[in-house]
């Protein structure tokens, strides 16, 4: 039988002041001055609900900045004393949990590399047993829904009831405009599996670059997420981690002001609700189509480089014949007309050639 987890809906969280729950602060705590100055500026916006800062940083490669460690916990305590903002930090083992709790950190989040590891998740859950604290679980680095659900279950079974999920996308091998592939269906499926779970979007790590933060945040709001976690630094240019994606508190305010918050409830008929739901599914598929096309072009460019190195022409008509014949046949079995498939594939093929041409002649 499916286990019903005891998870508090977001309006029951004392931290929640309305949609979106806004969690902001630097990727990493770097110095007392940087933490305090960023926190003061963020508190002055009157728009931020929780101050975040990474104290222990899981870095992909050694020698990158790995966080200031326990010393930073004092700064978080001071942030709370001075600004009144509740604080949040990332924990990856029981030692981190115990230290963070000792310094009164209000919200613990579990990073994507940790939520992918059931041993680490169980250790954290054991350390949290009997504790009252808010825990946010990021989606694991690999797109496996059950791993995410399992991580949440472990925390819930430890007796934590204020649990939220953070969607930060999936790390990829392919080169894409965003740093992570959003995979918007993953959190939607999570919500279907655990309907009460508050859902927070982390546009900073999905985007990897400031310029995409607004579009991703807006999409999250349109999909009815409950909150946003956005990295903000008093001087992003000199940040020791994730500098491309951090915004100043002033830029953060600008972003929050531009967000359009659509009402979830309306006096419209059920018909409109269903229509909205279907339309957001269409939007998701369109986004996925675009992401796939982007990846296809990236592979085409790689082939272009390879052909150039080996002095081979771009267009090889036998290969093209094979692609179009196969696509038409497959398309027909899926109820897609020959006319549509051949038009679409011709357009895609032409775009691939353009990408390869650019590579060949560069």
Query: Shortest approach of ligand PEP to residue 319 CB, angstroms?
Result: 39
Quote the tokens at residue 8: 């508090």
CB within 8 Å of 128: residues ≥ 6 apart = 97, 108, 135, 155, 158, 159, 160
**DSSP reduced 3-state for 115:** helix
What is the nearest approach in angstroms of ligand PEP to the Cβ of residue 112?
4
Phi-psi region of 5 (alpha: psi -120 to 50; beta: other; left: phi over 0): beta
183 binds ligand PEP (CB under 6 A): no
Q: At what angle do helices 32-45 and 71-83 cross, to 10 degrees?
A: 30
Minimum separation from the CB atom of position 52 to ligand PEP (A): 7
Does 92 sit near Mn ion (CB under 5 A)? no
What x/- string results for residues 266 through 295 when contact with ligand PEP is judged by CB under 6 A?
A: ------------------------------
Does residue 154 bind ligand PEP (CB under 6 A)?
A: no
Interacting residues with Mn ion between 210 and 269 (CB under 5 A): 242
Pairing assessment for the beta strands 87-90 and 134-138 based on DSSP bridges: unpaired
Per partner kind, with CB cut-offs from 5 to 8 A, the member of Mn ion, ligand PEP, none near residue 72 is: none
Residue with tokens 């179009």, as numbered in its chain: 324
Site string for Mn ion, 26-65 (x = CB under 5 A): -x--------------------------------------
Residue (112 or 359) nearer to ligand PEP, CB: 112
The answer to whether 168 contacts ligand PEP (rule: CB under 6 A) is: yes
**Nearest approach, Cβ of residue 310 and Mn ion (Å):** 40
By CB under 5 A, tell whether 200 contacts Mn ion.
no
Please enumerate, as own/partner, the contacts of 113-118 that have beta carbons within 8 Å and a separation of 24 or more. 113/58, 113/141, 114/58, 115/139, 115/140, 115/147, 115/148, 115/151, 116/140, 116/141, 116/142, 116/144, 116/147, 118/147, 118/150, 118/151, 118/154
Q: Does 107 bind ligand PEP (CB under 6 A)?
A: no
Q: Is 4 helix (H, G, I), strand (E, B) or coil?
A: coil
CA-to-CA dists, residue 294 to 211, 245, 266, 291, angstroms? 18, 21, 37, 5
* Pair 131, 106: CB distance under 8 Å: no
Dist. CA 230–CA 204, nearest whole Å: 6
Q: Choose from Mn ion, ligand PEP, none: what does 331 bind? Cβ within 5-8 Å by kind.
A: none
- Residues that bind ligand PEP (rule: CB under 6 A) add up to a total of 8
CB of 54 vs ligand PEP, minimal distance in Å: 5
- Asked if 112 is part of the footprint of Mn ion (rule: CB under 5 A), the reply reads no
Can you tell me which of 7, 24, 112, 136 binds ligand PEP, judged by CB under 6 A?
112
Asked whether position 236 contacts ligand PEP by CB under 6 A, the answer is no
Cβ atoms of 266 and 272 within 8 Å: the answer is yes
Would you call the peptide bond into 20 cis, given omega within 30 degrees of 0 as the criterion?
yes
Among 91, 96, 136, 138, binds ligand PEP (CB under 6 A): 138
Note whether 111 binds ligand PEP by CB under 6 A: yes
In angstroms, the CA 30 to CA 34 distance is 6
Encoding tokens for residue 121? 């998740």
Distance in Å, CB of 222 to Mn ion, minimum = 24
Compute how many residues bind Mn ion; rule: CB under 5 A. 2
205 binds ligand PEP (CB under 6 A): yes
Q: Binds 123, which of Mn ion, ligand PEP, none (CB < 5 to 8 A, cut-off by type)?
A: none
* Phi, psi (degrees; rounded to nearest 5) at 112: -65, -30
Per CB under 5 A, residues contacting Mn ion are 27, 242
Per CB under 6 A, residues contacting ligand PEP are 27, 54, 58, 111-112, 138, 168, 205
């Amino acid at each position: 039988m499916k286990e019903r987890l005891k998870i508090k809906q977001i309006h029951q969280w004392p931290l929640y002041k309305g949609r979106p729950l806004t969690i902001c602060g630097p990727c990493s705590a770097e110095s007392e001055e940087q933490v305090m100055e960023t926190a003061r500026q963020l508190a002055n916006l009157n728009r931020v609900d929780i101050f975040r800062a990474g104290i222990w940083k899981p870095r992909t490669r050694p020698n990158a900045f790995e966080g200031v460690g326990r010393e930073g916990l004092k700064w978080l305590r001071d942030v709370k004393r001075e600004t009144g903002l509740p604080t949040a930090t990332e924990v990856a083992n029981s030692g981190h949990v115990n230290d963070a709790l000792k310094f009164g950190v209000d919200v613990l989040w579990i990073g994507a590399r940790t939520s992918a590891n059931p041993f680490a998740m169980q250790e954290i859950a054991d350390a949290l047993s009997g504790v009252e604290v808010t825990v946010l679980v990021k989606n694991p680095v690999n797109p496996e829904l059950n791993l995410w659900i399992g991580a949440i279950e472990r925390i819930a079974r430890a007796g934590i009831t204020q649990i939220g999920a953070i969607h930060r996308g999936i790390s990829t091998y392919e080169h894409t405009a965003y740093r992570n592939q959003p995979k918007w269906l993953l959190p939607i499926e999570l919500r279907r599996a655990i309907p009460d779970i508050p859902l927070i979007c982390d546009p900073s790590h999905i985007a990897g670059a400031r310029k995409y933060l607004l579009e991703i945040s807006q999409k999250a709001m349109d999909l009815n997420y409950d909150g946003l976690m956005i990295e903000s630094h008093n001087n992003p240019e000199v940040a020791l981690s994730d500098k491309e994606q951090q915004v100043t508190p002033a830029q953060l305010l600008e972003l929050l002001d531009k967000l359009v918050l659509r009402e979830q409830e309306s006096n419209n008929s059920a018909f409109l609700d269903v229509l909205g739901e279907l339309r957001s599914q269409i939007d998701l598929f369109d986004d996925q189509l675009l992401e796939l096309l982007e990846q296809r072009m990236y592979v085409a460019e790689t082939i272009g480089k390879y052909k150039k190195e080996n002095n081979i022409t771009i267009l090889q008509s036998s290969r093209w014949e094979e692609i179009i014949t196969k696509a038409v046949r497959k398309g027909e079995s899926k109820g897609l007309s020959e006319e549509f498939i051949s038009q679409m594939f011709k357009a895609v093929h032409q775009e691939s050639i353009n990408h390869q041409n650019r590579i060949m002649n560069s």
